[in-house]
A and B are shown apart, each in its own frame.
Chain A
């Protein structure tokens, strides 16, 4: 279908574009900006006056809960959530059940997602079989099946000799390895940041060292093996400082942070709000500020939702017994706008963290930008409209988010995937 998106403010960080102009879509691609191509006849015109036209968002971590956790969410429910959030490309962590460690499984998931015909999925394969940290997965086969990188999700490898071999093997093929900095034992001793709030509430604490100790190890092993390392879900100022140091030493390493950790800190746990039970834990106000600033300065490359839908049974229990995680796909753009606004960033620089920069980490070239010839994954949103986050308003099956009841900027009006309007709001 030929679609004209007219008079919108086109914000395309990859091309450093921020201007009002028409966007022409045909055959699933962007065919022109500004002037209509010869003979273009719009079958549908979307009036984007007063709205922002941006590349569809790319989320570095969206748990869709299939296979294995369908009682928490399904591919279908979470794809709806992605569309409602303007998120058109999703990197899927391997911590499903069974784990994404087999090419057949990855193919199946990709096939199921394709059939739903909504967001594009980019599976991240398990670095080790069953995420057990013992045997390497068939990385080459998994890449053939569609995996874009390898990770342990939030299950750290205990044996550093295995981790070293896994990084060496991945480096053989120049595959990307995404590691979440969690030291195996230190990260499991508690449920909240080891600080004043945890002490007051009597929650067992996870020290910042759980992150820094893991980072020392990962950075050193990556340096030694030459693996392409991406660090996921930073939580602390000290962790970010280690990444800065590694870069200063000439290392090529990227990192991301979740929407929760740039907006919230341990104080937000309040009176034991289980929605604030997350991995890694929400750390101090000082850490939150350092992460928000690091993201603004580009020292943190991308922002992600770390979407983890949890059913009510998993959250309606005391804090320490609750399932960690928060739903986030539909909040990715609003919370990006909110962060960019408070950081004093131009809209384009804010959106870069969930479009062009995220695309580089996943290795997506045909999306994440609005160049002529690009896949027509587009989000048209109203940046001035504020929406209150409610359980009823969320399409995701997971209603668990610390942002419930908050009013956030940005309302998605249209989501296009490969030139088709998949969502209108």
Chain B
């Protein structure tokens, strides 16, 4: 079975997941992103690469932050951007996902940026476009269920490369709710593809998915043990609805055991960097002193995020 995000020549047609994405394509995206970081520093923050193209931000799940970064990225490439928050419009009226897509295709969309609560939704849209002979329309996954958040994974890789230069001698720890995290799955896929020799996941058994070690990671439940000697600490967001119930007793207990504090961070390498995909729960998964501290690279992540999304969109749009 051909991966639905590659065309028959093995080129990137859509960006749906980092799992199974060849290393050379992954690296090419990061390389393409590098010059885009400078665009933001210019007086005229625009490039004409997607001029005349229509990008539809198709958000079936609320997200101000991700949608905004995609919007900025598309506008800096001179695309026309339309934002649709579907949970408040068609879906509420009972229109099916593919009907919505067909309608937007009829408005001559060139690219869909899709966020959906169900794993696999963007892949289904890509397959539908293929089955209906509309291969010229591109799909970018902006986060689907627990499955993937590839642009987040890519911007994290960009950030690591920026600060650490080389992946081949790093130890990286991903901490928190891996079970529900599309970000963690994309990070793990990218890190293992780029040759990071040791990727660790740290969290309680309730928040680590079954057989997670099959993804190529070392599993730790003891945070102190897991942080020892790492170069990169990637924190995950803990959703509010997971904090009290059958997965975790209380946010207080979680913070005590798995919250990142300066004291625990001291176990990592002295030059370790701390990342977080945002939005942060200060005092739950991360202490403010660490979030605002010298080792945190959380704001550069946001900046690089725009460059990486520009890279992805320009690469897809130029085919």
- In chain B, positions 186-228 with a C-beta closer than 8 Å to chain A are 209-212, 214-215
B283 in contact (CB, < 8 A): no
Point out the residues of chain A lying under 8 angstroms from B209, CB to CB.
198-199, 205
Main SS class of interface, A? loop
Contacts of A159 in B (CB 8 A): none
Tell me if B120 and A199 are in contact (CB < 8 A): no
**Contact partners of A316 in chain B: CB under 8 A:** 96, 98, 124, 128
**C-alpha gap A202/B187 in the complex (Å):** 13
- Give residues of chain A (190-209) contacting chain B, Cβ–Cβ below 8 Å: 194-196, 198-205, 207
A residues in contact with B80, CB < 8 Å: none
Residue pair A320, B96 in contact (C-beta under 8 Å): no
Quick one: which of A266-284 are within 8 Å of B by CB? 270-272
A321 to B, closest residue via Cβ? B118
Within the assembled complex, what's the spacing in Å between the Cα atoms of A201 and B16? 12
Asked if A202 meets B211 with Cβ closer than 8 Å, knowing A318-B119, A320-B118, the reply is no
Bound CA–CA A365/B78 (angstroms): 75
Contact across chains for A272 and B210 when beta carbons are under 8 A apart:
no
Cross-interface CB contact of B3 among A271, A313, A321, cutoff 8 Å: A271
Nearest B residue (CB) for A320: B118
Tell whether A319 pairs with B146 under 8 Å between CB atoms, given A195-B211, A199-B209.
no
Q: Which residues of B contact A196 (CB under 8 A)?
A: 210-211, 214-215
For residue B97, give the distance in angstroms from its CB to the closest CB of chain A.
6
Given contacts A271-B120, A271-B123, A272-B123, contact A202 B210 (CB under 8 A): no
Question: With A313-B96, A319-B118, A319-B120 in contact, do A199 and B212 touch (Cβ < 8 Å)?
Answer: yes
Minimum C-beta distance from B139 to chain A (A): 13
Closest 5 CB pairs of A and B: A202-B146, A272-B120, A202-B147, A318-B118, A202-B119
Given contacts A199-B215, A272-B120, A318-B121, 7 further A-B contacts (CB under 8 A): A196-B210, A196-B211, A270-B1, A317-B96, A317-B118, A318-B124, A320-B120
Q: List 30 A-B contacts (CB under 8 A).
A: A195-B211, A196-B210, A196-B211, A198-B210, A199-B212, A201-B120, A202-B145, A202-B182, A203-B147, A204-B146, A205-B209, A205-B210, A207-B210, A271-B3, A271-B4, A271-B123, A271-B127, A272-B123, A316-B96, A317-B96, A318-B97, A318-B116, A318-B118, A318-B119, A318-B120, A318-B121, A318-B124, A318-B144, A319-B120, A320-B119
